[in-house]
Structure 1
Amino acid sequence: MYQKAGGQNNLFGWIALACGIIGTGCCCCPWLNGAPFIGGIPAVILGAMHLNKVKKGAASMSWLGWVAIALGVIAMIAAICGIATGWQDRIYDQYQQFN
């Protein structure tokens, strides 16, 4: 199983990628305001740790780290924009009007 995923040393990369996907996926949900930070910050940190392991030769698949960092940054920027503009609150208010 580990060989298909690039080896056991790529665990940080896979977890970082999962956090980045979760953080980016939470950007559009008005009920999870601020949740992109929960996925975005670990994605950036674990992605950087994975790239450090790749640089030392302890891991492979550097693309995991780069994609995780990119998704984490996108999630955090979207969360900041959502909090600053309040667009999630307007969506939530419109939803409440229909129910």
Structure 2
Amino acid sequence: MRLTLAKIVLPQVIQSMTSTTPPQMTHCCQSMQYFADYHCPDHANPFDCPDQLIVYHAPTRSYGLIVHDGGSSTIEIRFCPWCGTHLTGSTAV
């Protein structure tokens, strides 16, 4: 069974994909844009929010997947989990 992008992303991302005015993209795709820039209204710390999946470190342009184990660990990623684009700022080997 093949899943399409529209079935796995949040409704806000789907709405932005169908908008006539394209948003300012600073990340590789709209899904990464949404998750890297996500700010939870209920949690000040992104590591406390179960909906926060990605952290973006602007000075190094690196991305990490949050490890939701109660700490503040991340796993640096080199490729976008949604579109597969190489994340050029990543320093992971």
**Structure-2-length-normalised TM-score:** 0.27
- The structure having more radius of gyration, on CA atoms, is 1
Q: With CA pairs under 8 Å and 6+ residues apart, which has the higher RCO, 1 or 2?
A: 1
Q: Choose between structure 1 and 2: higher strand proportion.
A: 2
**Structure-1-length-normalised TM-score:** 0.26
